């Protein structure tokens, strides 16, 4: 994945804080479980980058963003109208 642009800490945080959480009210229960997992991943990535912000945390944040984007698109997960509640305000 050498051609994938790595975001900076600030870019990762901006993407994650502007992304709305995934709905956990799909008809299929497995989609709700996947949505909850993605919400948890995004929240943890924000926490690590805000708390420590080491290079490894930024690499983790980039990996989370790529994974969340791919999984949510593939599984056709819906988003809510609320910013991710796992993200501190």
Q: Average model confidence (pLDDT) for the chain? A: 87
Contact 42, 86 (CB under 8 A): yes
In a domain, 41, yes or no: yes
Give CA–CA dist 24/15, Å, rounded. Answer: 21
Task: Find the domain containing 31 and state its range.
Answer: 9-18+26-80
In a domain, 14, yes or no: yes
Amino acid 84: pLDDT: 59
Split at pLDDT 50, 70, 90, the class of 81 is confident
Amino acid 1: pLDDT: 45
Query: How crowded is residue 21: how many other Cβ atoms within 10 Å of its Cβ?
Result: 20
Amino acid 71: pLDDT: 96
Total-model pTM:
0.81
In a domain, 75, yes or no: yes
In a domain, 3, yes or no: no
In a domain, 2, yes or no: no
Average of per-residue pLDDT across 47-72: 93
Number of domains in the chain: 1
Q: 30: which 2 tokens?
A: 């497995």
- Percent of the chain having pLDDT more than 90? 67
In a domain, 38, yes or no: yes
């Amino acid at each position: 994945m050498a051609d994938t642009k790595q975001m900076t800490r600030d870019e990762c945080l901006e993407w994650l804080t502007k992304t709305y959480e995934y709905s956990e009210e799909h008809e299929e229960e497995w989609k709700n479980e996947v949505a909850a997992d993605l919400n948890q991943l995004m929240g943890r990535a924000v926490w690590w980058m805000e708390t420590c912000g080491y290079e490894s945390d930024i690499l983790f944040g980039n990996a989370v963003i790529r994974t969340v984007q791919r999984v949510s698109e593939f599984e056709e997960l819906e988003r809510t109208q609320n910013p991710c509640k796992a993200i501190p305000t």
